[in-house]
Amino acid sequence: MPMRTVEDIIALLGGPEAAASHCGVGTEAIRKWRQARAIPAKHWPAVLTATGLSLSDLPGAPGETQKTEPTMASADTPPDGATGCLVLADGTIFWGRGFGAETATVGEICFNTGMTGYQETLTDPSYAGQVITFTFPHIGNVGTNIEDLESLTPAARGLIVKQDVTEPANYRSTRHLNGWLVSHGIPGVAGIDTRALTVRIRDLGAPNGVICHRADGKFDIPALRAQAAAWPGLEGMDLAKEVTCRQTFAWNETEWAWPDGFGQQVAPTHKVVAVDYGAKRNILRCLASAGCDVVVVPATATAEEILAHKPDGVFLSNGPGDPAATGEYAVPAIQGVLETKLPVFGICLGHQLLALSLGAKTYKLPRGHRGANQPVKDLTTGKVEITSQNHGFAVDPKTLPAHAKVTHVSLFDGTNEGIAATDRPAFSVQYHPEANPGPTDSHYLFHRFVEMMEASKANRG
């Protein structure tokens, strides 16, 4: 009689819950049995007692039948059907099913808790250098389209999901997620225990790793492990230069609205220069919708180049990488703008760069904040906002100078979420008020920036 499969044995035990009960484990362990296609030896006695099977019936147990149906011969040997894997820098391997581009990519492995907006997430330039683990299992079910793009070229290096990508079921879809990923050279791995991986990141910090998709199931694990271990990580890495625009351009597209789609700002009242450290399109749309004539300049623009446009205000965008590294060239430019006392508004990396320009310091968070359900308290109003966030670094509030104050704090971990200068019109937030994807609780910040510009223009006469 052929060796029983893990699925056969789970069925004989009465299903996953009953199997877990017989062996004194949780159902998460049963999922791991299925993933490895083997039952750990410590559970064999309980399984044999409950099912009446013999030892030779168990996959992975000693016996001649093991030769005809091998399980994992070693830690580096993929289980049957594995076409994708995640290899962490410490050597840990997660096996799965590859999709998207057939390639390997290295980066920081992070997790995102958002339940919608995976296309906006994948195209957010702030994810440069990162592989995204989605905690929501059904990624890809609404396909992709040409409107939900936050940048033309996706910056994320790959994605990890629980469930296989299904056919799209949304009227706005124009392309399957798999085909979209292939066209951009981005690999994905499905079938990984994303809950276990997320807990690992939560408890131990975001690791460096490589994800690899090989349709033939052949992996050079030692090489992938060495690649993961050799990658230097995001700390000290300036990525804004990789995702910024290459030349100055004007922006007048406004936010999307049913049923007309995107609009255009034809009667702006304020001139804003947006410094592009990796700006999301919807941030620019929010500025345009608030009545701004937006001019976008590269991350490396000097104060003189910014001020040459004669702006009423300056916006500092989101972006990827270590703010201290980007600050080498960004801080002098921002300080030059601050000296003019023009209104300044920063988001995400722009928030961190404003803090550095005021004299504060930043540090790397162990796991970061990524998702569309992050609670933040506005200390000015006492209100709590549910926010969209994506950042791995934070401002150290203890290093803020006397002429700056904390305005917002995270209700998850108490980290800084906003600051304001007290001697000039400059403020910033760590989160994403443009809300693509995410809630719209914080849209008021764009109007606060406009009010600041109006007051500044009134004072100038």
**CA separation for the pair 399, 332 (Å, rounded):** 19
Residue with tokens 């703008």: 337
Token digits for 279? 């700006």
Q: 17 has which bridge partners?
A: none
Cβ-in-10-Å burial (0-12, 13-18, 19+) of 65 comes to: middle
Dihedral angle of Cα 247, 250, 256, 259, to the nearest 10 degrees: -120
| Element at 106 (helix H, strand E) | strand 104-112
Using only the alpha carbons of the chain, give its radius of gyration.
25
- Full DSSP string of 361-427: EEEEEEEEEEEEEEEEEETTT--EEEEEEEEEEEEEGGG--TTEEEEEEETTT--EEEEEESSSSEE
Q: Just list the catalytic residues.
A: 348, 432, 434
Token digits for 362? 């930043």
Give yes or no for a contact between 107 and 131, defined as CB atoms under 8 angstroms apart.
yes
| Element at 335 (helix H, strand E) | helix 323-338
Q: Using alpha carbons only, what angle is made at residue 126 by residues 125 and 131, rounded to the nearest 5 degrees?
A: 95
**CA separation for the pair 220, 214 (Å, rounded):** 10
